Structure 1
């Protein structure tokens, strides 16, 4: 009888715990701020998009959204913090591809694993662009490549961090053009125009979104996309004979054990915002192409890109 009573008590406790857990999930969001961590410096694409989302998210979720920054290690510091944060849905962070895939592949300990970042949504993409100053003597990609071959070291390319889409595109250009152009990593995309216009680098491997703010100061030599951008008067790398299609996919993630029901609520809020005509217009004006990948689609896309980047890294290391 005593054993039966103990078993009944244990089962009751398990049921109570389970019901409490479900009740906690159902309450999301609670009456507390939603933390939105940005892995890069203020003024970059991740920050600009988060700031654009912020008032809409607050309206959809009914809670204050606090955007903060954790800059360092190409975003790894922020993502390391995220995977160790409470899995309540109130701790989120912007994610960037290929960063979150390449870092764990290239480093012994990146501080996180790609699969630990539970995706809520991939909500936009910005293709890479190779840009120079408008007063640059290099009018075309061929001009820049010719100078780099004739005077090694005379051309320097800057981009955002290591293990990023700008870095990968720069490496691919070097490999396919038979060059060894020095590469300089910067903390965030907002640092790139400053570096280029300040003549610290010859060119930058930026994004369509970054260029859209400096059309009078920069000239795009090539775009790393399948098709030309209707808002940029420049050819694709493919048109010029280089198989370089690269860009940055951005989205939102939560800690690994965050309940699926909470993730779904966050996704529905983000998806609804992307579908707002006013929001979509603002994003387009910033050079961002909106996407709508739900949690499952985002996870599948991450898995596909992981295999793709494994092959690229193998090819680069040869």
Structure 2
């Protein structure tokens, strides 16, 4: 009799827990959410995250508070989210670093990349191939031809080893079978200053940074890193027109701890995609040179897998893998 009662009690308790979990998932969210940005305040990712967080809060009916946890190549913020409760209330606003490039650039990470489950892509930041206007070329094809005539003599600037602006150049070298001279700087500002001043010859970095100098004629745009032409820079062809397969536009996306229930991820995915389609959000992002672009959860997961393979090949080929 006691055994029967005990089994019955356990079954009832389990059923109540399951019902409570289902109810909490169905009612999600019931309190404020945190959007962790693994970069310092004021940067491009931080500004974009704040635009999206405001729109997302309206869709979810709860505040979405942005928290900056910068440092160690975005691994501090990524680790914080990966270790958080898998309840959907702690979200990572991320760039390719934490899951796509860092695993191939760093000997060890304070988290496993698989500890993060992507929700949705939210934006793409087109980059542009720019040259100092004194360089005697007028197209990507002419630049490649010059690089083949003068291997290792064309200097390309980046924001530092492992930065997207560095890997963009490595991808170009790989696909074009050319040798450029990489000049790493301590940030985009220093790289930009030397490029405009003629101390380096070219760069492939975020359009928003270089647009004012393209408009003023101090730099010449040869190609964009997106597979197709973009409205922000009409008349400038994709690099892929000259180098088939070239696609190097950093995406931003949202992730949660991997054990977060799928139904909560689905709620977040729906809200995110609705939020970034709002004209006000689209316009604000476009003003920063960023394209709003959502996805299904399955699409972003497949894209991450594809990008991991692509950039691992580039990083290994450039000899950047940690020894």
TM-score bin, normalised by smaller chain: 0.7 to 0.9
Unaligned 5+ residue runs, structure 2? none
Alpha-carbon distance in structure 1 between the residues aligned to 2:219 and 2:291: 21
- From the superposition, tell whether residues 37 and 238 of structure 1 become closer, same or farther in structure 2 (CA, over 3 Å): same
TM-score, with length taken from structure 2: 0.80
Aligned in 2, Cα 1:156/1:275: closer, same or farther, shift over 3 Å? closer
Q: 1:197 aligns with which of 189, 193, 198?
A: 193
Task: Determine whether 1:10 maps to 2:7.
Answer: no
> Does residue 227 in structure 1 map to residue 239 in structure 2?
no
- Asked if the contact 1:212–1:286 (Cα under 8 Å) also holds between the matched residues in 2, the reply is no
Partners of 1:242 and 1:304 in 2: CA distance: 17
- For 1:160 and 1:79, how far apart are their aligned partners in 2? 21
Structure 1 residue 252, shift from structure 2 partner: 0.8
Q: Answer whether contact 2:223 2:237 (CA < 8 A) is retained.
A: yes
Structure 2 vs 1, CA of residues 37 and 204 (structure 1 numbering), >3 Å: closer, same or farther?
farther
CA contact (8 A) 2:118 2:300 kept: yes
CA-to-aligned-CA distance 1:162-212 (integer Å, 9 cap, x gap): 2x54332121234445325234265xxxx5145413669734431234334
Equivalent position SS for 2:260:
coil
Cα deviations across residues 260-316 of structure 1 (Å, max 9, x unaligned)? 222222212111112222322332333222322121221222223333334444544
Residue in structure 1 matched with residue 106 of structure 2 by the alignment: 107
Answer yes or no: is the 8 Å Cα contact 1:37–1:67 preserved in 2: yes
> Would the aligned equivalents of 2:96 and 2:251 in 1 still touch at CA under 8 Å?
yes
CA distance in 2, matches of 1:6, 1:106: 54
1:261 alignment counterpart:
263
Counting only pairs closer than 5 Å after superposition, residues 207-246 of structure 1 correspond to structure 2 as 207-212=206-211, 215-216=215-216, 218-232=219-233, 233-240=235-242, 244-246=246-248
Matches within 5 A, 1:90-169: 90-97=89-96, 100-132=99-131, 137-138=134-135, 140=137, 155-159=155-159, 162=162, 164-169=163-168
Q: Quote the Cα distance in structure 2 between the aligned partners of 1:165 and 1:61.
A: 32
Partner of 1:300: 302
| Worse-matched range after superposition: 150-159 or 102-111 | 150-159
Alpha-carbon offset, residue 84 of structure 1: 0.7
Structure-2 change in CA distance of 1:106 and 1:143 (3 Å):
closer
CA distance in 1, matches of 2:143, 2:225: 18
Which stretch of the first structure deviates more once superposed, 215-224 or 269-278? 215-224
Closer, same or farther: CA 234–138 of 1 in aligned 2, 3 Å: farther
Task: Give the whole-Å Cα distance in 1 for the aligned partners of 2:184 and 2:250.
Answer: 18
Give the direction of change, closer, same or farther, for the CA distance of 1:181–1:269 in structure 2 (3 Å limit): same
Q: Normalising by the residue count of structure 1, what TM-score does the alignment of the two structures yield?
A: 0.81
Report how far residue 118 of structure 1 moved: 1.0
Gaps of 5+ in 1: none
2-structure distance, mates of 1:79, 1:185: 25
Comparing 56-65 with 142-151, greater Cα deviation is found at 142-151
Instruction: Give the count of matched residue pairs.
Output: 310
Residues 277 and 292 in structure 2, CA contact (< 8 A), matched pair in contact too: no
CA change 1:198–1:304 in 2 (3 A) is: closer
Distance 1:311 1:287, change over 3 A: same
